[in-house]
Structure 1
Amino acid sequence: MRIALIILIALHGIIHLFGFLKAFNLAKFNAISQPISKTSGLLWLILFIVFATAVSLLISESKIWWLPAFLAVIGSQLLIINFWHDAKFGTILNLIILVSALIAYASFSFNNTIAAERSILLKNTQTNGAQVITEKTISELPVSVQKWLKNNGTVGKRPVSNVHLKQALQLKLNPEQENWNTGKAEQYVTTHPPAFHWTINTKINSIFSIVGRDKFEAGNGEMTIKLLSLIPVADAKNSHKVNQASLQRFLAEIVWFPSASLSKYITWQPINSYSAKATLEYNGTKGSGEFHFDENGNFKKFVAMRFKDSNAIEPTKWMVNATQIEERNGIKIPVACEASWEQENGVWTWLKLKITEINYNIM
């Protein structure tokens, strides 16, 4: 797609160069039967240069190639109007380039917004100021949670302040979908205060892609999904259901940074020798879920009653199952998981993820 666009813009730019050559009698250009003044010829030359700039930036994979392309399309269309009889079909090329430039601008704008939000998230990170976690530190937690923290290597280390991780994803957008869409995601997390910022990029097919952003900050959740970074598909916020669902997601994901289980915002209740219920309450938002472990103290699954979206009337059973446990940065974590919703006709597994990179920061 990118190569085809480069060729298209280059050819369109060369046509404008011919307009300049005709204006100064340097070459014949029979595609335009009308005479071209030297003043107009200079404009044709300028547009060729601007189109060439867009091509150069596109070849170098610059994120701002859309700017000269947009300017060139405007100028080109003005010329086409003046030479409409001969040049009207150039409008089609300009429309293709314009749409491509708009999509590129939308992606540029989306990424800038993401960068700004992440910067704010990380600036709000508060220093843990905690000493090394010991067996005494975790002594009041349920036995199953203590065993988990000892087994995964949290005991003997200082608490994590923030986390950066990358994921490879497979997902289904609805229960009827047969094939998995693939995608990549990146996430930043702070443990104090509890917050996360997650972005995803996935392809529906060879042409259409979807970008999305989930955020939980100051007790509030937000979700944005856009087709081609341009067309809004979902925008959920200012809802206690979204807030609670986002908080429960944060709670489930502490298995990737287990020291967060000691957060003052989380309270624990034992269920049995292998399970415990955790409740997270922060800034007016409250949610809970059950953590289940195996006999060795490895995380097995998380279960919660969670709202699917802001329109859901009742919460639905949501499950996260660990499918692979590995040690990363000295901590045993579930590097592969599956997320599912329980429905009337069975369980719908809609997400499979694998952590490809995870880094901890201690403050």
Structure 2
Amino acid sequence: MKTVAYLLILVHSVIHFMGFFKAFNFLEFKAITQPISKTSGIFWLTCSVLFVISLILFELQFKYWWIFILLAIITSQVLIISVWQDAKFGTILNVIIFIFGLLAFSDQQFTDMVRSERASMLSGSDQKAKQNPISTLPEPVQKLLEKTGVDSSTEIQTVYLTQSAQIKMKPEQDDWYSATADQYYVSYPPSFHWSIEMKMNPVMPVRGRDKFENGKGEMQIKLFSAIPVVNVQDNSKVDEATLQRFLAEISWFPSAARNEYINWEKLDDRSARATMTYNGTTGTGTFHFDNEGNFEKFTAMRYYESGENAEKKRWTVKALAHKEFNGFILPYILEASWLLDDDEWTWLKLDIDHLEYNVKSNKKHK
């Protein structure tokens, strides 16, 4: 879509440039039979330049590039009206370019929102949680920390990671959608910010953002970064479900298992139940480990939807492979599933491409 938009704008720019040539008799422009004055010709040139400048500024990510494309479209349309009989079809180009510009502006606004929210979240990441001694944790959790490489001196305040994903939106869906995402976590106060880009088909991009902060969860999904598909906040069910997601994902920063906002209960030699409470929101889930102490899976009864009649379903995050990141042995290939009507529906396949700790500022924003 971006390439098509660029080509249309460049073609439109060239057409306006030809109008300037006609006005000054530099060449014959047969597409327009009506005369163009030299004064008008200057505006044809100005319009051409505005289209080119808008492209350059867009590529440079200049915040106010949209002003130039809007001025170019307005100028172009005024000039088209002045030679309407010959140039009326140029209006179609202006409408298409306006739509592309509007979508690009929406994408920029989404990116700015992500950047701002992440900056706010990371600004408070220098706080430290009260932590329980490792010796007071259930044996399976102690074994996990030993296996991953966490000890009493380990301090992980923030996490940054990137993900490659395959997603199914509905149980009856056959094909997987490809997606890329990146995510920040803060160990204390417990929070995360996840941004994803997904293409449902070559011309239909989707952007989404989930976050958990101050004990509250939010979910937002937009088609073309502009058309809301999901926008949920101030919902106690989403708060709990998002907290449970944070809890499950401490498998990527297991030192958080020591934080006092998590209470542990040993179930057997290979599992322990975790209950997390923060700022009035509480969620529970069970961590399962293999014989060596590696994280194997996380299971929880979690709200499947956010509506008034939403019910809790069994949610499972399973680790399929582990490898070393920054000296710690962590899961990096995972899948998530829901148990719906006695059928296990795997809706997410996830690979961790990159992970680092104690990042204090935005490394990138999707």
With the shorter chain as reference, the TM-score category is over 0.9
Is the contact made by 2:209 and 2:220 (CA closer than 8 Å) also made in structure 1?
A: yes
Is the contact made by 2:134 and 2:152 (CA closer than 8 Å) also made in structure 1?
A: no
Asked if residue 207 in structure 1 is aligned to residue 215 in structure 2, the reply is no
The one-letter code matched in structure 1 to 2:93 is: L
Q: Which residue of 2 aligns with 1:31?
A: 31
The one-letter code matched in structure 2 to 1:215 is: K
Q: Which residue of 1 aligns with 2:221?
A: 225
Name the CA distance, whole Å, in 2 between partners of 1:268 and 1:102.
50
Q: Scaled by the length of structure 1, what TM-score is found?
A: 0.94
Q: Which residue of 2 aligns with 1:42?
A: 42
Asked if residue 160 in structure 1 is aligned to residue 152 in structure 2, the reply is no
Q: Which residue of 1 aligns with 2:181?
A: 185
Asked if residue 302 in structure 1 is aligned to residue 302 in structure 2, the reply is no
Shift of 1:66: 4.2
Residue number among 284, 290, 296 corresponding to 1:288 in the alignment: 284
Q: Which residue of 1 aligns with 2:363?
A: none
Q: Which residue of 1 aligns with 2:364?
A: none
Asked if residue 175 in structure 1 is aligned to residue 192 in structure 2, the reply is no
Q: Scaled by the length of structure 2, what TM-score is found?
A: 0.93
Shift of 1:20: 1.5
Shift of 1:55: 3.8
Asked if residue 248 in structure 1 is aligned to residue 244 in structure 2, the reply is yes
Residue number among 290, 296, 313 corresponding to 2:310 in the alignment: 313
Shift of 1:362: 8.5
Asked if residue 346 in structure 1 is aligned to residue 343 in structure 2, the reply is yes
Q: Which residue of 1 aligns with 2:265?
A: 269
Deviations 1:40-79 (CA, angstroms, capped at 9, x unpaired): 2111110011112234446x56465544223211211122
Name the CA distance, whole Å, in 1 between partners of 2:18 and 2:43.
12
Q: Which residue of 2 aligns with 1:322?
A: 319
Match runs of 1:3-152 below 5 Å: 3-57=3-57, 60=59, 62=61, 66-128=66-128, 137-152=133-148
Deviations 1:178-229 (CA, angstroms, capped at 9, x unpaired): 1111111110100111000000001111111100000000011001101111
SS of the residue aligned with 1:154?
coil
The one-letter code matched in structure 1 to 2:338 is: W
Is the contact made by 1:158 and 1:362 (CA closer than 8 Å) also made in structure 2?
A: no
Name the CA distance, whole Å, in 2 between partners of 1:315 and 1:82.
63
Name the CA distance, whole Å, in 1 between partners of 2:108 and 2:262.
38
Is the contact made by 2:129 and 2:188 (CA closer than 8 Å) also made in structure 1?
A: no
When the two chains are superposed, the root-mean-square deviation of aligned CA atoms in Å is: 1.9
Is the contact made by 1:339 and 1:350 (CA closer than 8 Å) also made in structure 2?
A: yes
Shift of 1:328: 0.9
Name the CA distance, whole Å, in 1 between partners of 2:187 and 2:226.
32
The one-letter code matched in structure 2 to 1:111 is: T
Is the contact made by 2:159 and 2:359 (CA closer than 8 Å) also made in structure 1?
A: no
Name the CA distance, whole Å, in 2 between partners of 1:92 and 1:233.
28
The one-letter code matched in structure 2 to 1:303 is: T
Name the CA distance, whole Å, in 2 between partners of 1:12 and 1:157.
62
Shift of 1:96: 1.5
The one-letter code matched in structure 2 to 1:307 is: Y
Q: 1:287 to 1:92 in 2, by over 3 A?
A: same
Gaps of 5+ in 1: none
Among the aligned pairs, what percent are the same residue?
46
Deviations 1:76-125 (CA, angstroms, capped at 9, x unpaired): 11222222221111111111211111111111111111111000000111
Is the contact made by 1:126 and 1:193 (CA closer than 8 Å) also made in structure 2?
A: no
Name the CA distance, whole Å, in 2 between partners of 1:346 and 1:139.
39
SS of the residue aligned with 2:300?
strand
Shift of 1:141: 1.1
Asked if residue 358 in structure 1 is aligned to residue 355 in structure 2, the reply is yes
The one-letter code matched in structure 2 to 1:191 is: S
SS of the residue aligned with 2:136?
coil
Q: Which residue of 2 aligns with 1:335?
A: 332
Aligned length: 358
Shift of 1:38: 2.2
The one-letter code matched in structure 2 to 1:332 is: I
